Amino acid sequence: MQVVRRAFELRPYPVPTLDPSGEYLTRVWREAVYPMAQRMGMALRLPPVQPRSRLAHAATFFAAGSGRLEEFQEVVYRAFFELGEDIGCLEVLAVLGTEIGLDAAALRLALETRTYEAQVETDEDRAQSIGVRAVPAYVTCGQRVVMGVRNLAELRELITSR
């Protein structure tokens, strides 16, 4: 089995981002995200910013091309969900890349010149065509789409069922 992570912007431009201190996000995090994170032993916190994620996805393609995909995704998730950093900011992404050994100048240039924009758009078009509307989303080889956080048993069932 192979796991392939794809780019997906939950709220792409021009869809408005949500207010991190607004009623909706604070309620969802209080009632669902924090209890789930506690059960899973994760140190998540509601990020104080709701950035656009397109640059982070493009930076992920850069990291993949440098052989650092998994490390980069982990450092980005931690920066956003644990530290509350703005992963829509080029400078933040460059610093995160440097933390795992990426060339910050080359990463900046790739983001400034939109080198990976078409790859991000291809992933997003594919997601839209198969009905992905939420994160996380899991898509099997048979194109079955399951959205939302799943426990290990549910993921195993998803993988083994055809």
Smallest CA-to-CA distance from 87 within 47, 56, 112 is with 56
Output the average pLDDT for the chain: 94
Domains of the chain as residue ranges with CATH = 1-130 (3.40.30.10), 131-162 (no CATH)
Q: Which pLDDT does position 162 carry in this prediction? A: 64
Q: DSSP string spanning 79-91?
A: HHHTT---TT-HH
Residue 99: pLDDT band (50, 70, 90) is very high
Say what the pLDDT of residue 21 is.
96
CA distance 129 to 64: 24
